[in-house]
Chains A and B, each alone.
Chain A
Amino acid sequence: IAGITQAPTSQILAAGRRMTLRCTQDMRHNAMYWYRQDLGLGLRLIHYSNTAGTTGKGEVPDGYSVSRANTDDFPLTLASAVPSQTSVYFCASSPTGTSGGAEQFFGPGTRLTVL
């Protein structure tokens, strides 16, 4: 079934630990995104990639890093987790990042708790 998968579904993490959230899409979309969603706030863009091999910073990039080695995978790494990174993380993709009305397709999300 075509779509976006994320792993893990949920995770409890001790502060200071390193964590990588995985995201894979099989739609051959060029653009991919990482968002965090917190209660009472809109989705906030962390990092994005308009095509394999390139990445860019979003609204809230501090404490996070990404890589885009190929079209399908877009992992998000927290180098040293802090409690303020407790959130629901969504990965999304779209056919293109910079033109048209291309919608973004979202993965099921990862619920991360940092203690």
Chain B
Amino acid sequence: GQNIDQPTEMTATEGAIVQINCTYQTSGFNGLFWYQQHAGEAPTFLSYNVLDGLEEKGRFSSFLSRSKGYSYLLLKELQMKDSASYLCAVRDSNYQLIWGAGTKLIIKP
């Protein structure tokens, strides 16, 4: 079966750095996405990785290792507005997105 694993919840301090991990087992791989979802709102796109390595975009970075079936999202200089759920999704061999359940990130002052 296909499976995406992420921690259910994480807590971090404003101004700090947090790393959210995602491991996956899917039938085929055509890219990995990270989305942010604030409570009661729709998911919004953060990043896309298809090759191994680190993609940096401002305060957010995403890393991929295809051989390990592993990705992480790194958030730097945390702000209160970063309190949200972070969703990892893998596009499988049928080009459909398989979604993790999401990691709820709580930022404390």
Contact = CB atoms under 8 A, between A and B. Distances in A.
Query: Chain A interface mostly helix, strand, loop or mixed?
Result: loop
A104 B101 contact: no
B96 A103 contact: no
Interface residues of A, number: 22
Interface residues of B, number: 20
Contact of B96 (A41, A58, A90, A109): A58
Contacts of B96: 45, 48, 58-59
19 contacts: A35-B99, A40-B101, A41-B101, A42-B4, A42-B100, A42-B101, A43-B87, A43-B97, A43-B99, A45-B96, A48-B96, A58-B96, A90-B43, A97-B95, A99-B95, A104-B97, A106-B42, A106-B44, A109-B42
Interface of B: 4, 31, 33, 41-45, 48, 50, 87, 89, 95-102
